[in-house]
Amino acid sequence: MSQEHRFRNNMAEAHNTATQERIPWGAEVVYIDDFLHGAGGLATIPATSSEENGYDWIKLIVGAAPPTVALTADGANGVAQLALTSASQAQDAMLSWGDQKGINLKAGLQVEMRVKFSVLPTSGVAAVFGLAGDHNLDKDSITEHAWFRAQASAA
């Protein structure tokens, strides 16, 4: 890929000579969601994607207890709460784009999130947060991921 940097209409841009694509300088892919819809807009995250609500996320819940995924009412600056139960079974509560891979995990991306545990993971439990490829209940079998993991001793 050959790339030239130039000015066009007094605006800096990168020009890929192989694809003839022009990209404004500093125009990386940006996706921001502060989950601000809970207070005055969308009250629930849909279980399947729905164009009618215009929401990017869907929730995936695994377990009979069941776990819950919801936006927290009056959460300062927007809060999504993903809660598991105390039932002794495989459980998963996650936000997803439905296994659509719109972000390349190998392209030097930056992610910012804040995580709060109300109860620390115990033996046999792993809490995983970050980005991943296709969903699998066995987190060790997911080959594409950029995440943090807390388990057992919480160390």
Q: How confident is the model at residue 1 (pLDDT cuts 50, 70, 90)?
A: very low
Report the candidate in 98, 95, 91, 96 with the shortest Cα–Cα distance to residue 66. Answer: 91
Domain boundaries, the chain: 1-30, 31-151
Q: In this prediction, what percent of the chain has a pLDDT beyond 90?
A: 0
Q: How confident is the model at residue 5 (pLDDT cuts 50, 70, 90)?
A: low
Residue 139: helix, strand or coil by DSSP? helix
Supply the DSSP symbol for 71.
Answer: E
Number of helices (H), then strands (E), belonging to the chain: the values are: 1, 9
Residue 37: helix, strand or coil by DSSP? helix
When the pLDDT of each residue in the chain is averaged and rounded to a whole number, the result is: 75
pTM: 0.66
In the predicted model, what is the mean pLDDT of residues 68-78?
77
Half-sphere exposure of 90 (CA within 13 A, CB side): 5
Distance CA 41, CA 119 (A): 29
In the predicted model, what is the mean pLDDT of residues 55-63?
82
